[in-house]
Amino acid sequence: MLFNTSIKVLSSLIILTCFSINNKRFESRSESLFQKRTDTIPDSVSQKEMADFLKEERKYWDSTCTSETAKAEADIKKNKLVFFHYFGMVDHYNSNAEMDSLLKKYNIEIDSALTYCTVPEHLQNCYGQVMDREIKKRFGDKFTDSLRRVAEIQFVKKNPNRIYRFEECDFTSRYPGDKDYNDFSKTGKRDFWRDVKYPSDFEFRKDKDLYSYMSADFILYKTGKISDVKINISFKNKKNYKYSSYFINKLRKFVQDTKWVPAKSMGIPVNSEMGMTIHFK
C-alpha cells in the first residue's frame, strides 16, 4: 500500500534527520524500515492506519531487540566484550580514541551505535545494553566512568593549544570573585552598569517582552589573556542606535580590563571561548 510505504519513509526521514551518522550497525538495519525512496507522503492518514503502522514498528523493534540480546549473550559466553560509543546522546566526548586504547588493555572491543529519538530506549541497541551490564558485572559499576575520566585528562594534556567550546569546559566561574559560574550572570552585569551611565535621552523599552542587548564574544586563554573580542548590539528602539559606539566601547573596555579566570577542563586550565550578554532597560 502507498500508505505503508509512505509512513515508512516518514519514519525513516524522522530517524535520519535526528541522527544522520553512518556506522555498520546502522547500515545493517532492515531496508524495509529505513527506506531511501522519496514517495509522496499522504496529507492525512486515519487513526487505524497509524495504529497499524505503530504496531508493525513495535514488532520490528521487539524482534530486533530479542535477536541482538541473544547474540550478545552468545558472544559473552565466548568471552567477547564490546564497549559502545553512542552517537545522538546528549553527552559528547573528545576522548574516544584515548578511551579505546584504555579499553583494549582489558581485551574489550570497540563499536559504535546510534540512539534514535523515535524508538523506545529499552528496545534500541539491546546488544550494547547487554554488553554494558556484563562489563559492569565484571569490572564494577564505575569502571567505564573512571576510564572515561582518565581518557578525558589524557586528551586535554595531548592538546594544550586547543580552544575549547564553552560547553566542553568545567562549569566553574570565569569571572573574578564568583564562587559559582551561576553568579556571573548577576555580578558581571552589576559591575558593568556600576560604571556605565545611560545617556539622558536614551529611550527605555516600553514593552517588557522586547529586550535590547549587546554581547561580547572572545577567546580566553589559560594564561588569563584575551583576544578576538567581537561585540554585537541590538536595539528594539532604532533611535538608540546613535549610542552604539558609546556602549560598544564601554563593553569592550570592561571585557579587556576584567581579570578573567581561565576555564578548565577536567580541572586543567585550557583556552576557551567566552561570552557575556548585557541587556538594556
For the chain, what are the domain ranges? 2-158, 163-279
pLDDT in tens, 105-156: 999 999 998 887 777 888 889 999 999 999 999 999 999 999 999 999 999 9
What pLDDT is recorded for position 36?
A: 36
The pLDDT confidence band at residue 47, using thresholds 50, 70 and 90, is confident
pLDDT, mean of residues 260-266: 94
Confidence (pLDDT) at 142? 96
DSSP letter string over the chain? -HHHHHHHHHHHHHHHHH-----HHHHTS-TTTS----PPPPS---HHHHHHHHHHHHHHHHHHHHHHHHHHHHHHHTT-EEEEEEETSS---S-HHHHHHHHHTTTEEEEEEE--TTS-GGGSSHHHHHHHHHHHHHH-TTHHHHHHHHHHHHHHHH-TT-EE-GGGS-S---STT-SSGGGHHHHHHHHHHHS----TT----SSTT---EEEEEEEE-TTS-EEEEEEEEE-SSGGGGGGHHHHHHHHHHHHHHS-PPPEEETTEEEEEEEEEEEE--
Task: Give helix 47-77 / helix 126-139 axis angle, nearest 10°.
Answer: 40
What per-residue confidence (pLDDT) applies to 45? Answer: 61
What pLDDT is stored for residue 44 in this prediction?
A: 60
Q: What is the pLDDT of residue 59?
A: 84
So what's the pLDDT on residue 20?
Answer: 38
Q: Quickly list DSSP for 128-160.
A: HHHHHHHHHHHH-TTHHHHHHHHHHHHHHHH-T
Q: What is the pLDDT of residues 57-110, one digit of tens each?
A: 778 888 889 999 999 999 999 999 999 998 865 457 899 999 999 999 999 999
pLDDT at res. 258: 95
Which carries the bigger pLDDT value, residue 191 or residue 7? 191
Predicted confidence band at 28 (pLDDT cuts at 50, 70, 90)?
very low
pLDDT, residue 6, reads: 39
